[in-house]
Structures are given as C-alpha cells and as structure tokens.
Amino acid sequence: MPRPDLLQRLATHTVEREHAQLRRRLRTIDHVDGPWLHSGSQRLLSFCSNDYLGLAQHPQLVAALTRAAREEGVGSTSAHLICGHRSAHAELEEALAVWTGRERALLFSTGYMANLGVLQALLARGDVCVQDKLNHACLLDGAQLSGAELKRYPHADVTAAARQLASHPTAAALLATDGVFSMDGDVAPLRELASLCALEGATLMVDDAHGFGVLGDDGAGSLSAAQLGQHEVPLLMATLGKALGCSGAFVAGPDALIEGLIQFARPYIYTTAMPPALAAAALEAVQVARSETWRRDKLAGLIARFRHGAAELGLPLAHSASAIQPLLLGSADTALGAAQALERQGLLVTAIRPPTVPAGQARLRITLSAAHEEAHVDRLLGALETLRLSDASQAPLGNPV
C-alpha cells in the first residue's frame, strides 16, 4: 500500500470543510481607527475585537512602545533564560503581581503558550485534569500535551466536576476553568469551584483572559470580583492582548509556582522573549487600565444599553453580563447569513460556528468596547432589528449572572 500523502490529506479536509460551509477565511484589515476598520474599499464598524477598554490605540501606550523601541530596539534577541529578560519585562511582572494580589507573575509570549506551559509543567501521566467543557481550546490542548487524564464536565456544572474529582480520589488533580467564557460571556461559578477544590485537595487554575482589566475592583479580574485570593486560586493566567490592548500573557501565583515554571514550562523556556517595547507598552496599559476607571463604567453602560435594546427586540441573548454578548442562532447557516447581512450594512460581527462551538450552537459573537459610543450600539440594534432574528433557535447556554 502506498504511503498516504499528508498534504493531500490536509487538502481533502479543507474541501470537506468547504462542503460543510464551515471554511474559515482570512480578512486583511488595512487600517484601524478606534472601532472602525478599513478593509479594501469597506469601512466597517467593528463589534468583534477584544479591545474591551479601547486601549489598543491609546496615545500613552503608543508613546511607551515607540520610546522603548527607540532605546532598546525591536526584538528581545533571545529567550528569557539566555539574555532576553530585560528590565521592562521585570517591571511589568512586578506590576501585574501587585495588581492581581499575587506573590509573583511570569510573562509568556501568548496566552496559548502560557496555558500549554502551565499544564505541561504541572501535570504528568497518572494525574487528572478536570475542565469545563466550554474552556478555551488551549486549556484543553495543554491537558492533552501533559499526558494527564482529561475529564470535561458540562458547562458550569459544579456537581459534575465534584463527581469527576471524587472518582479519582488519589490522583494529583488540577481543575481548570475560564473565568469569563470566551464564546458565551458568562462567568464561571468561581467561589463554588474554589470550595470544591479546597474540599478535594485539588489545585484550581483560572484563565481570566476576558475578565482581566474589566471585572473586579480596579479591573483586577474575575477573581478579584469573586474575592478569591492566591490561597484559594493559586494559578491565575490572563492575557495582555484583550482588555490591555497589547499582546502576550502572564501567569500569577505563589513564588514556588513561578520558580517551577521557569524551570519546567517548555513554552516559556524555548522561545524568544516578547519584545521589550511591548512590555513597556503593557506596563503603561496596566497604569492606564487601573486609573482610567471611566472606561469600565462606560463599557458597563454600553453593555446595559445593548442588552436592554436587544431584549426589547426579542433577540436570542445569552445570559452574559460581560462585554461578550452572543446572539444564539443555532445553525451555522443562520449565523453566517446574519453576519453577512450586517456587513452589507457596514457592521462587522463574527459568526462563530462549529468546531469552535458545538454543532447547533452557532452564534453571532458581539463584543463591546469602551471605544464604542452609544450611537454605535444603537446602530447595531437598528441593523439587528432588520434581520428578524427573534425567532431563531435559542440554545440553552451560559449561566445566569
């Protein structure tokens, strides 16, 4: 039998995806101006970025980045453990640890790498990793990479998580959850999960990519909002590429955790450190995000305005109080058709389809930002009204918050 051709097999998978009308396509954005995107001849009002506080183009961040690039150059030239760890990285780690109330923080180049690094360093064959079914792909991938047994419980179901932990009473156990779920916008039952982990002797990890900067006192995230400290949640991961408007991620927790990650987290060790100018911009973002509290207030007002308007229109809203406001449409065709119709009206909203979400749970993932104005939200609601989505199937997703 001839050996299978790998490129041919991949091409076949792509064609299959095309036939299922699930093919993903790249769009090049030529210019960004706040919530406005220019792509070719189109000028689109975007409701799909994760720039929740509207910091990505903040003049202070841009100034910090350019100043540092002028002084330090562009690349870090090496991994952290060789000679890539600069004072900008160290200062940013210190600021993130202080903000999140943790002993130490460690930078990673992306959130994806941070999650792979933590799970691979911490877990081994024979351990169990219990995760919410709707966790972000990189938490699931990290568990698979680690060799531990991965058990997934139905979304936000603490009783099912308890059963899974109890069925492995002697294995070392990590329970990992998103803080705010990326495609649903609801917040995990963090306090209940923390109590469960305390009872079962399991370690709790929270990926707060979408809560950090937005929720809690001073924007410190979903753990701060739930009043959970390092003792209850020793492992906090959050990204710098969403509310902070930069790129990269960090893990925060006890000194022993951070020291262990430096020794054993391969996605930390074997990669070039993030550009120091980016670390300088992120440090500025920390200061702006903490001090410009009006951004969180404005965002909260826009979320309330959208939800009120969408409820009046009878739109299939999810139970989300966060900046992520999905409209649950059911079929991939309906979601794609709605996104295309909005685009014809000058609005960019992403249709999220399987395999990113389960079959039958396709949706429009609408995200709001402090960079939006009330008139933008009204324009979106006006366009949604023309689509007559109120009788689209409403999948029972998310947790009432």
Q: Which residues of this chain interact with ligand PLP, rule CB under 6 A?
A: 110-112, 136, 138, 178, 182, 207, 209-210, 239, 241, 249
Question: Who's near 252: CB < 8 A, 6+ residues apart?
Answer: 96, 97, 100, 102, 104, 105, 106, 230, 236, 237, 238
Q: Which is nearer to ligand PLP, 114 or 383 (CB)?
A: 114
- How far is residue 345's CA from residue 328's CA, in Å, rounded to a whole number? 20
> Shortest gap between Cβ of 136 and ligand PLP (angstroms)?
4
In the annotation, is 210 catalytic? yes
- How far is residue 223's CA from residue 229's CA, in Å, rounded to a whole number? 7
Residues 376, 34 contacting (CB under 8 angstroms): no
Question: Who's near 388: CB < 8 A, 6+ residues apart?
Answer: none
* Bridge partners (DSSP) listed for residue 132: 153
Direct distance between the N- and C-terminal alpha carbons of the chain, in angstroms, rounded to an integer? 57
Q: One of 58, 89, 155, 210 is an active-site residue; which one?
A: 210
* Residue 243 identity: A
Q: One of 151, 242, 298, 376 is an active-site residue; which one?
A: 242
Residue 186 DSSP symbol: P
> Shortest gap between Cβ of 167 and ligand PLP (angstroms)?
26
In the annotation, is 155 catalytic? no
Q: Which is nearer to ligand PLP, 64 or 107 (CB)?
A: 107
> Shortest gap between Cβ of 178 and ligand PLP (angstroms)?
5
Q: Which is nearer to ligand PLP, 54 or 179 (CB)?
A: 179
Parallel, antiparallel, or unpaired: how do β-strands 362-367 and 324-330 relate?
antiparallel
> Shortest gap between Cβ of 1 and ligand PLP (angstroms)?
40
In the annotation, is 242 catalytic? yes
Q: One of 146, 182, 222, 369 is an active-site residue; which one?
A: 182
> Shortest gap between Cβ of 138 and ligand PLP (angstroms)?
5
- Which residues are known catalytic residues? 182, 210, 242
